[in-house]
Structure 1
Amino acid sequence: MNRKFTFFSRFIPDILAGRKTITIRDDSESWPKPGELLEVHTFEDDRWFCQLRVLEISPLALADFKEEHAQQENMSLPELRQVIADIYPGQDAFWLIRFEVTAQ
């Protein structure tokens, strides 16, 4: 089954170029399963821009964010911590979803 998933528009270039290969989400978006295909839309205007295959999903605490995660997000570790704090204020338990683009 193909289900819908969203990203902020600013991440589109990095996702499509393969520079962003993970996303960090809270419990409300922990439903994807490995192997599942996701139809990906922009958060702002619900515009389709690609299809992803979920490769892996695993729990990840804020305290356990590493430079490797930042590189997979195509940003520095301080930037990653700030982005996550802005999107999910006050939260410290997340899900790491590793993916690959299958169509664009």
Structure 2
Amino acid sequence: MAKTTTAAAKEVTIDDLSDQIALLKKDIASLTEALGDYGKAKSEEMRDNARNAANDFADTGRLKAMEVQQQAEEFLKAQPGTALGIAAGIGFLVGLVTARR
């Protein structure tokens, strides 16, 4: 029996090998296409996540800027003299920095 199994294994033809190689090439092409599709899907997902995060940060920044503006307006109404002194001091420092150039 061992001789018939060995003989059968030796009788594999070139056509059989060619068919197997063609099948392997087809499988590799299919796997490559699947990996490419997966990569595209993941990159689109990551792009969408990044865009959503950027929009969230922008919205948070806008809210914080509005809060700061509201606090500044309240400070101006509550202490106009102090606000005027701070503005004059900042203007003086900006003048000194720009005059040196």
User: Could you state the TM-score of these two structures normalised by the residue count of structure 1?
Assistant: 0.16
Greater radius of gyration (CA)? 2
User: Could you state the TM-score of these two structures normalised by the residue count of structure 2?
Assistant: 0.17
- Using CA pairs below 8 Å that are at least 6 residues apart, which structure has the higher relative contact order? 1
Greater share of residues in strand: 1
